[in-house]
């Protein structure tokens, strides 16, 4: 857990651990993908009223506590959970991947789509475990809508 999380977000993590739930388990119970669920736990997504009701039931936390902090007036402050470069080894590897492969990926996007970017708003991500006799592999799929730069 991150020290920059609110007290409620920390309570959500404690409830998740106490119930021995994975993000995938919670996602199945509330009808969302595990990456989206994890983003709620880190304050990086705005859950709907229905999602808060379902989270309350799954985690055993009072619905009014969730709605008070994450309800109508809540808007995520995305991207502010860590310093750069990150010091956590997993997060640093993502940073390193962008340092090494960022420009090659950008060049290939431009070759295939033209001048533009991949949306992080119209976006989904998936993490898969791929078993391999030489050591299990982490497969991450980032799926974002292409947004061409506007000319005016």
In DSSP notation, 22-72 reads -HHHHHHHHTS-HHHHHHHHTT-S---HHHHHHHHHHHT--HHHHHHHHST
d(CA 24, CA 30): 10
Which sequence positions are flagged as catalytic? 93, 96, 119
103-130 pLDDT, tens digit per residue, is 999 999 999 999 999 999 999 999 999 9
Confidence of residue 78 (pLDDT cuts 50, 70, 90): confident
Confidence of residue 40 (pLDDT cuts 50, 70, 90): very high
**Structure confidence at residue 2 (pLDDT):** 58
CA atoms within 13 A on the CB side of 108: 4
Domains 7-70 and 89-148 share a fold: no
48-68 pLDDT, tens digit per residue, is 999 999 999 999 999 999 999
User: Per-residue pLDDT averaged across 12-21, rounded?
Assistant: 98
Residue 66 in tokens: 């969730």
Selection from 35, 47, 70 nearest residue 142 by Cα? 35
pLDDT, averaged across the chain: 94
> Chain centroid to CA 95: how far?
15
3-state secondary structure of 138: strand
Confidence of residue 3 (pLDDT cuts 50, 70, 90): low
What's the CATH number of domain 7-70, 3.30.1360.200, 1.10.260.40, 3.40.640.10, 3.40.50.720?
1.10.260.40
Report pTM. Answer: 0.87
User: Per-residue pLDDT averaged across 8-20, rounded?
Assistant: 97
Does residue 1 surpass a pLDDT of 60? no
Architecture of domain 89-148: 2-Layer Sandwich (3.30)
Domain edges within the chain: 7-70, 89-148
Does residue 70 surpass a pLDDT of 80? yes
**Structure confidence at residue 81 (pLDDT):** 85
d(CA 110, CA 114): 4
d(CA 18, CA 106): 42
User: Per-residue pLDDT averaged across 8-16, rounded?
Assistant: 97
């Amino acid at each position: 857990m991150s020290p920059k999380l609110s007290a409620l977000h920390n309570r959500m993590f404690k409830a998740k651990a106490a119930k021995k739930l994975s993000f995938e388990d919670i996602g199945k119970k509330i009808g969302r993908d595990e990456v989206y669920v994890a983003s709620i736990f880190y304050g990086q997504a705005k859950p709907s009223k229905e999602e808060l009701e379902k989270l309350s039931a799954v985690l055993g936390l009072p619905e009014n506590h969730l709605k008070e902090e994450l309800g109508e007036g809540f808007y995520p402050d995305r991207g502010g959970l860590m310093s750069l470069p990150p010091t956590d080894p997993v997060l640093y590897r993502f940073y390193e991947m962008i340092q090494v492969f960022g420009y090659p990926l950008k060049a290939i996007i431009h070759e295939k789509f033209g001048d533009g970017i991949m949306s992080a708003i119209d976006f989904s991500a998936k993490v898969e475990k791929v078993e391999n006799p030489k050591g299990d592999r982490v497969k991450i799929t980032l799926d974002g809508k292409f947004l061409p730069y506007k000319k005016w």
